[in-house]
């Protein structure tokens, strides 16, 4: 059951949980205490994607948002952390969980987990130089859950208190079961209680896990909160009948459409952005396949809006109501 000292974090999902989504969620269903923005990749050339760089900017975010960086280079991390400090960001997170071979094979993301000596050097230097609070998101390992056991003493020594574990291995990418036991094995070894992440798909999942691990107070939820934007507030005890759900979702969708259409170069990528959200939103509806097929077929903004008008009238799935 949700308790007053529980903290719900909206997970970073690249291409989806940007500030437009986060703000629209906060303005409608609500339920997240904080979030981490999707990672920004640093490059040797120093070139940074402007849109990603500004995503965690304090002045445009309604939800407390930690920024996230994917890198193995201290200087590049510190460079972005300073820019984010100047944008009012309070905390910055190092991504040590990204599973994609293109990233991990270059000793970044979960690829770092095979090299505890590199992790020690990287985290020690970041801790020394980082101008704002430094946090870490990690997996149990890349190949094997014994890997995190070598990282934990480093986390303890550096007193990194905001630490999230996605209870999977890098080699699983995002599939297969989460390893709750593997997560539990870390608890007595850590000086700080970590944030749990992985496969919380329903209120029942949250209640089961929070009963099983009463010492855990921070819970990060990703994909299920994109498929059912009411989930975080439902975990807190809010309930939705079909009418209330539909009204909130229409409002959320309206806000997102408006924001995407009114930002710079908006029209060119509006449909692509919205399609990425609908990859998840389709699950709200009873006939999700039919809904998504129609959305994919819309080739112009007008066609898309016509389809959305139809979609928003469709039956909402029992699975998202409570
Ligand atoms: C498409 C996609 C993009 C993701 N992007 C990021 C990211 O930018 N940074 C990060 O730390 N994790 C990222 N993740 C991982 C999620 O934050 C989260 O750890 C994972 O989905 C497990 O939580 P969930 O089961 O609640 O979704 C991504 C996951 C997916 C599926």
Q: Does 21 fall in a domain?
A: yes
Q: Does 166 fall in a domain?
A: yes
Q: Does 170 fall in a domain?
A: yes
Rg (CA), the chain: 20
Q: Does 18 fall in a domain?
A: yes
Q: Which of 9, 14, 34 to mutate for ligand 1's pocket (most ligand atoms within 8 Å of CB)?
A: 14
Query: What are the pLDDT digits (tens) for 180-224?
Result: 999 999 999 999 999 999 999 999 999 999 999 999 999 999 999
**Structure tokens given for 276:** 């990425």
**Same domain membership, residue 186 and residue 115:** yes
Q: Does 2 fall in a domain?
A: no
What does the pLDDT average to over 56-72?
A: 98
pLDDT of residue 241: 98
Q: 91-102 as b/e, with b when 16 or more CB fall inside 10 Å?
A: bbbbbbbbbeee
Task: Give the angle subtended at the CA of 103 by the CAs of 58 and 72, to the nearest 5°.
Answer: 65
* Ligand 1 closest atom vs CA 39: 8
Q: What is the 3-state secondary structure (H, E, C) of 7-66?
A: EEEECCCCCCCCHHHHHHHHHCCCCCCEEECCCEECCCCCCCCHHHHHCCCHHHCCCCEE
**Same domain membership, residue 250 and residue 129:** no
Q: How far is the CA of 94 from the centre of ligand 1 (A)?
A: 14
Q: How far is the CA of 257 from the centre of ligand 1 (A)?
A: 23
User: Which residue among 203, 235, 267 closes a domain?
Assistant: 235
- Alpha-carbon distance of 262 to 290, in angstroms, equals 29
User: Are the CB atoms for 90 and 34 separated by under 8 Å?
Assistant: no
pLDDT of residue 264: 75
- Ligand 1 pocket at CB < 6 A: 11-14, 38-39, 68, 95, 97, 137, 166, 174, 197-200, 221-224
* CA 171 to mean position of chain CA atoms: 19
- Alpha-carbon distance of 200 to 178, in angstroms, equals 10
pLDDT of residue 267: 75
* Ligand 1 closest atom vs CA 199: 25
What does the pLDDT average to over 39-66?
A: 95
Q: Does 136 fall in a domain?
A: yes
Q: How far is the CA of 223 from the centre of ligand 1 (A)?
A: 7
**Same domain membership, residue 19 and residue 52:** yes
Q: How far is the CA of 254 from the centre of ligand 1 (A)?
A: 25
**Same domain membership, residue 250 and residue 211:** no
What does the pLDDT average to over 236-252?
A: 98
* Averaged pLDDT score across all residues of the chain: 97
Total domain count for the chain?
2
Q: Which range of residues forms the domain containing residue 294? A: 242-320
- For residue 227, report the phi and psi dihedrals to the nearest 5 degrees: -75, -30
pLDDT of residue 171: 96
**Same domain membership, residue 199 and residue 255:** no
Task: Give the angle subtended at the CA of 316 by the CAs of 315 and 319, to the nearest 5°.
Answer: 140
Query: What are the pLDDT digits (tens) for 106-158?
Result: 999 999 999 999 999 999 999 999 999 999 999 999 999 999 999 999 999 99
What does the pLDDT average to over 159-183?
A: 97
**Same domain membership, residue 153 and residue 293:** no
Q: Does 30 fall in a domain?
A: yes
- The CATH number covering residue 169 comes to 3.20.20.70
User: Which residue among 235, 269, 289 closes a domain?
Assistant: 235
pLDDT band at residue 44 using 50, 70 and 90 as cut-offs = confident
pLDDT of residue 84: 98
**Same domain membership, residue 116 and residue 46:** yes
**Same domain membership, residue 268 and residue 209:** no
Q: Which of 35, 196, 222 to mutate for ligand 1's pocket (most ligand atoms within 8 Å of CB)?
A: 222
Q: Does 1 fall in a domain?
A: no
Q: Please write down the long-range contacts of 70-74, taking CB distance under 8 Å and 24 or more positions apart.
A: 70/39, 70/40, 70/41, 70/42, 70/95, 70/98, 70/103, 70/108, 70/109, 71/41, 71/42, 71/108, 72/106, 72/107, 72/108, 72/112, 72/118, 72/122, 73/42, 73/44, 74/122, 74/125, 74/126, 74/129
**Same domain membership, residue 154 and residue 37:** yes
**Same domain membership, residue 52 and residue 189:** yes
pTM of the entire structure? 0.98
Q: How far is the CA of 309 from the centre of ligand 1 (A)?
A: 30
Q: Is the pLDDT of residue 265 over 80?
A: no
User: Which residue among 235, 254, 279 closes a domain?
Assistant: 235
**Same domain membership, residue 120 and residue 184:** yes
Query: What are the pLDDT digits (tens) for 4-42?
Result: 999 999 999 999 999 999 999 999 999 999 999 999 999
What does the pLDDT average to over 302-312?
A: 98
**Same domain membership, residue 277 and residue 220:** no
């Amino acid at each position: 059951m949700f308790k007053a000292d529980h903290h719900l974090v909206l997970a970073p999902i690249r291409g989806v949980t940007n500030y437009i989504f986060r703000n629209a969620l906060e303005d409608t269903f609500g339920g997240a205490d904080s979030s981490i923005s999707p990672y920004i990749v640093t490059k040797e050339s120093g070139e940074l994607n402007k849109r990603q760089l500004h995503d965690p900017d304090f002045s445009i975010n309604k939800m407390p948002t930690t920024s996230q960086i994917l890198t193995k280079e201290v200087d590049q991390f510190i460079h972005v952390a300073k820019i984010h400090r100047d944008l009012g960001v309070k905390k910055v997170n190092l991504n040590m969980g990204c599973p994609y071979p293109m990233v991990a094979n270059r000793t970044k993301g979960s690829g770092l987990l095979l090299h505890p000596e590199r992790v020690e050097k990287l985290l020690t230097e970041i801790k020394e130089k980082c101008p704002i609070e430094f946090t870490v998101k990690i997996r149990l390992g890349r190949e094997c859950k014994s890997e995190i056991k070598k990282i934990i003493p480093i986390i303890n020594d550096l007193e990194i208190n905001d630490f999230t574990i996605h209870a999977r291995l890098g080699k699983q990418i995002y599939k297969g079961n989460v390893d709750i036991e593997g997560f539990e094995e870390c608890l007595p070894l850590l000086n700080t209680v970590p944030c749990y992440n992985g496969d919380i798909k329903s209120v029942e999942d949250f209640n089961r896990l929070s009963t099983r691990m009463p010492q855990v107070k921070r819970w990060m939820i990703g994909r299920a909160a994109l498929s059912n934007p009411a989930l975080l507030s439902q975990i807190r005890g809010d309930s939705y009948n079909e009418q209330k759900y539909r009204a909130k979702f229409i409002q959320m969708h309206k806000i997102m459409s408006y924001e995407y259409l009114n930002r710079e170069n908006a029209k060119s990528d509006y449909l692509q952005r919205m399609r990425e959200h609908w990859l998840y939103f389709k699950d709200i509806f009873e006939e999700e396949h039919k809904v998504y097929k129609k959305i994919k077929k819309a080739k112009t903004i007008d066609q898309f809006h016509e389809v959305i008008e139809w979609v928003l009238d469709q039956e909402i799935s029992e699975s998202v109501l409570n």
